[in-house]
Structure 1
Amino acid sequence: MSEMDRRGVEQWFRRRGLPAVVRGLEKNLLVRIVPAVVWLALFDVLYDVLSAIDGDDAFETRLESEAFEVIYTVTLVASIGAPVLGAWLAARWARDRVLHDRGSVSAIVVIATYVLVLPVADHMADGSAVLPTVVEYLAFAVVLLGLTAVGMGSIFGWALRAALRQLRAVGAMTSRAMPLLLLVTTFGFFTTEIWQIAGLVSRGRMWLVISFFAVLGGLFLGSVFVSELRTLTAAAHWPERVSALPEQPFRALMTGAEPADTAPALTRLERANMVLILLLTQMLQALVFGVLVFAVFAILGRLAVPHDAIKSWVGHDPTPGTLFNIQVPAPNELVQVCMFIAGFSALYFVATIVTDAAHRKTYFEPVLEHLEVSLAGRALYLSRFGKQE
C-alpha cells in the first residue's frame, strides 16, 4: 500500500469526524484551517456592515419602510449563509491540497489577509486600534491551529456537515416533530405571563436559560450515546459493513483481505471521539430545529401580535430588538419570547430523537450506521498500521 493510499484512508477518517482512529500526527495544518479562517473573515466583514447600518441614527425611521425591512432581513440571513458557503467552498479547495501536501503558500496568504489586512479595514471603517485587533486575530489563528492539531477541526467539520445534510430533512422536521409542538407552544405564545417574563428578563439571563436547556439535553444524550456505543461495539455488526466501504480509498486495503471477526478494542480516546461526534451531530440537529422554530414564531409574532398588544402585556412600549448586538426588525420582547420557545423546542427535539421510534429512525440510526461503517474501515486500517502507533 502506497503512502498516498494511506493518506487517502486517513483523510477519509478525518472527514468522518474520527481523527482519533488515525495513527500519526495531523499534517499540513495551515491548509486545514483555511475554511475556518474564511468563515471568521466573512463573518467579521458582514458583521461590520450590519453594525454600520443599524448604528445609523436614521435606522429606526428607515425600518418603518416595508421594503427596507425586507432588504435588511435578507441581509441578516445572508450574514449567516455567506460565511458558511465560503467555508464550504474553502473546504472543497483544501481537500485535495491536504492530501497531496500542497497549498501552503495560498493558505499563508489567506491567513495573513485575515490577520493583517482585516484589522486595517476595521480601522478605516470604525477607527478601531489596529495592533490589538491584529493580536486578537492572530490568537484566533493560533487557537485554530491547536484545535486542528488535536483533531477538533475534523470532529466539528463532520458534525457541521451532518447538521447541514439534515437541512434536507427540514420537511420531515416540520411534518413530524413540529405539529404537536406547535399545538402546545402556540397557546403559550399568546399568554400574558410569557411576555411579561420576557420583558423583565435580561438578554444575558435568557442566554443562561437557553444554556441550561442545552446542558440538560447534552447530559441526556451523552448518557444514551455511551450505552449505544457500548452495545454497538459489543454486537460486532461492523464486519457486515465492510462491503459498504468505498473502493476509493480502501481498494488497496481490501485487495486480498478477508473481513476479520474481531478488531482491536476501542481506546478511550477513540470511544470519546465517537461519543463526541454523536453528541455534536444531534445537538446541531437540535440547533437547526430551534432556529426553525424561532423563525416560525418570529414571523407569527410580526403578523399576529400588534404593537398595542405587546404594550398591554409588558406594561411599556416595546423596545427595539437586537440579536448578537445586531438590530433586528422586531421588538425586543418578541425576540426574547421566540428565544425561550426555540430553546424549549430544541430540548423537546433532543428528547424525542432517542425516545420516539420515527424520530430515531430518521435522525439517530443513520449516525449509528455511519459508525458501523467507520468501525469496519478502522479494522482494515489497523490490520495494516495498528502496530505503528
Structure 2
Amino acid sequence: MNNFYLSSLLAVFVLALVAWIGSLGLPWLFGIVLPYVAVVIFVVGVVRRVMGWSRSPVPFAIATTAGQQKSLDWIQPNPIDNPSTKLGVFVRMALEVLTFRSLFRNTRMKLTQEGRFRYSLEIFLWVGALAFHYAFATVLLRHLRFFLEPVPWCIRMLETVDSFMRLEISYNVIQFGLPAVYVSGLVLLAAVVYLFLRRLCIGNVRYISLASDFFPLFLIMGIAFTGILMRYFVKADITAVKALTMDLVTLRALSFDIPEGISPLFYIHLFFVSTLLAYFPYSKLMHMGGIFLSPTRNMTTNTREVRHVNPWNHPVKVHTYEAYEDEFREKMVEAGLPVDKMPEPTPEESTGQEEKE
C-alpha cells in the first residue's frame, strides 16, 4: 500500500495550521515577507531551469514521430506528426499546448483473462487534464483583478463568462449564488480531486506515485477549497484584501503596514499559494515551461533531407577505403578480391607485354 499520500496530506495540514496560528501574531510575515520570498524563489528557479534546458546540447533531430516523414514525392507524409517545416512544428506545438494532443492519443494496455491484450484510450485522463489546466488558467486570470486598478475590460469579460451560472440560494449562514458562482473554481476543485483519486485507485499508477506527486495535488486542493470557502461561506473583507494585494504589487507593503479586517483563512490561502510558487520550479509542475524546450516537439523531422553532424565531434584521423586499397591492392588482387583500381604493371611486366605484342 502506497502511503505517500498520507505524508503529503499531513504536510498540507501542518502548513494550514502554521499559517492560521502565525497570522494571529505575525500577519506581516504571512502577508508580506513570505509572498515576496516565494515570488523571488519562483522567478529565480524558473529562470535557472529554463537556462539549464536551453544549454543542453541537442545536435540531432530526435523528434518523436507518429507518422510518415517527408521523403519521396510519391509517399504521403504526415505534416503535423512529422513536420518538415517550421510551420508544421508550430502547428504541432500549438495542438500540444492547447489540446494536449499526445495525451489524447495515449492508450492503456490491459491483459484480459483470455490472455489477450486490450488497448483503450485514456479519454477520462485527457478530459480531467484539460479541465484542470483551463480552470486553473481561468482562476489565475480572474485573480488579476486584485492586482490591477482599474480592472481591464478583458478580465471583467472573463468574469462574466465564467459566472454565467447563477444559483440564488440565501440562508442566514450560507449565501450561495450571491455573489455569482464562478464555474472555474468548482471545476478546478473537481478536476484536482479526480487526478488524486486516479493516482490512489489505479494500482499501477499508485505503485509509481511518490510524495512529490501527491503534495502539489493536495496543495492545489487546499488553494481551491479555501478560495471557495472565502467566497461563498466565510466572507472575506475584499476591500482589505485588495488593499494588501495592491500594496504588494506597488511595493508599498515594504512598510509592513497590514490592512485591518483580513481573516486568518485568507492567510492560509495566501500561504498555500506562496508554497506552491516556491515549490513550482523544483517539481514536475515545470513541464509547463519544459514543453516549449522539448526537442521531441520543437524540432523539424528533416533527417532525410538534411544531414545533422555532431558539431563538437573531435577531429579524427580516418583511414578511408581508398587509402586502404592503396595499401593492400596487390594482396587483394592476389587473393582474387575486387578492387576499384587495378595495380600499375611493373617495368618487367610492361616489357613482357610489349614483346608478346
Q: Which has the higher contact order (CA 8 A, sep 6+)?
A: 2
The two structures have a TM-score, normalised by structure 2, of: 0.25
The two structures have a TM-score, normalised by structure 1, of: 0.23
Structure number with greater Rg is 2
Structure with greater helix percent: 1
